[in-house]
Amino acid sequence: MLRIAVQKSGRLQEKSLALLNECGLGIDGGRNELKALARNFPAEILFLRDDDIPQYIEDGVADLGILGENVVLEKKKQQTVIERLGFAKCRLSIAVPKGIDYAGVEWLQGKKIATSYSRVVQDFLNRNNISAEIHEISGSVEIAPGIGLADAICDIVSTGGTLLSNGLKEVEEVIKSEAVLVANNNLSAEKELLIEKLLFRIKAVNKARNNKYILLNAPNDKLEQIIGVLPGMKSPTVMPLAMEGWSSVHSVLAEEDFWEIIHQLKANGAQGILVIPIEKMIL
């Protein structure tokens, strides 16, 4: 049985459980429990503080964990990132008071930086040959400049709203982060096989989330141009319509390219374009 650690509360927990449920694990409980069994897969879910998950994985208490990449980089435990999950995207950034005339990373030389991510910040400073004093604090990092504790902060940023409300501006991006799946480095062959099965499901769910299924009507004299626009998984499906001279074309589009390709399809004579979400995508 696999033991999978997820955050015990917050949005990352919600998205982690949603992903596992989409993968067919069928998890009951968890909101006020320390662990829960999956119904349709040999797995036990452990609900832990996100900062503690790397240690539990290194110690072998958990086999897998879903957590932010920022935590993985900060804790530097012996484990392996085996899949990037595409949600909980954010960045770890340096921010300074709005009134500061910030001309570049050299401004940080000799300054005091408040953060909960001392290792990541130190790595950033080393890469840029900057010597600065790091004040490691947990929680309410944004108030540090206002109370005279630090000249700058380094914290997680999603929209930037919290920085603005505290009179700060983002000046340097230290790292990008998203939810990742990490694994213990010393798993049995049986557990490695279970992980392969779980990864297969995760990739199918995420591939579907990032693609759309489209159906469209195309005049036969424009089929070649329209098919040339569509990437498809192998090639588009083309079926004749009851109306002579027209065909129905089915394909799959990546979310990131969707609108650009739709404009090209319209320009080449495509009509009646329908867009359908994909639940799972098995390649």
Give the pairing type, strands 64-68 and 179-184. antiparallel
End-to-end CA distance of the chain: 26
CA 30 to chain centre: 22
In the prediction, which pLDDT does 238 show?
A: 92
Q: Which of residues 33 and 108 earns the better pLDDT score? A: 108
pLDDT (tens digit per residue) in 229-279: 887 667 788 999 998 999 999 999 888 888 999 999 999 999 999 999 888
Q: How confident is the model at residue 92 (pLDDT cuts 50, 70, 90)?
A: very high
Judged against a pLDDT cut of 80, whether residue 49 lies above it is answered with: yes
Which positions ≥6 away from 171 have C-beta within 8 Å?
93, 94, 95, 96, 102, 152
Neighbours of 146 (CB within 10 A): 12
Average pLDDT over residues 185-201: 96
User: Is the model more confident about 88 or about 28?
Assistant: 88
Q: Which domains are assigned to the chain?
A: 2-87+179-208 (3.40.190.10), 90-177 (3.40.190.10), 211-277 (3.30.70.120)
Please check whether residue 93 is in contact with residue 154, taking contact to mean a CB–CB distance below 8 angstroms.
yes
What distance in Å separates the CA atoms of residue 181 and residue 187, rounded to the nearest whole number?
15
pTM of the predicted protein model: 0.84
Whole-angstrom Cα distance, residue 104 to residue 11?
34
What is the average pLDDT across 213-242?
Answer: 88
The mean of the pLDDT values for the chain is 92
Where does the pLDDT of residue 118 fall: very low under 50, low under 70, confident under 90, or very high at 90 and above?
Answer: very high
In the beta sheet, which residues pair with residue 83? 181
Provide mean pLDDT across the span 99-106. 95
Task: Note the pLDDT of residue 144.
Answer: 93
Region 186-201: mean pLDDT is: 96
pLDDT bracket for residue 141 (50, 70, 90) = very high
- Helix/strand/coil for 19: helix
Specify the pLDDT at position 112: 97
CB atoms within 10 A of CB 228: 9
Q: Which long-range contacts (CB under 8 A, 24 or more apart) does 12-16 make?
A: 12/50, 12/66, 12/67, 12/68, 12/88, 12/179, 13/47, 15/87, 15/88, 15/179, 16/66, 16/179
pLDDT at 30: 54
pLDDT of residue 159: 82
Lowest mean pLDDT among 45-49, 70-74, 207-211: 207-211
The stretch 206-221 carries a mean pLDDT of: 92
Give pLDDT tens digits for 150-174.
999 999 998 888 898 999 999 999 9
pLDDT confidence of residue 21: 93
Helix, strand, coil content of the chain in percent (nearest 5): 35, 35, 35
Tell me the average pLDDT across 189-204.
Answer: 96
Token digits of residue 61: 């208490």
Tens digit of each residue's pLDDT (9 = 90 or more) over 2-34: 999 999 988 899 999 999 999 999 887 655 678
The pLDDT-based confidence of 132 (bands split at 50, 70, 90) is: very high
166-193 CB burial, b ≥16 within 10 A, e <16: bebeebbebbebebbbbbbeebeeebee
Average pLDDT over residues 103-121: 96
Q: Give the per-residue pLDDT at 232.
A: 60
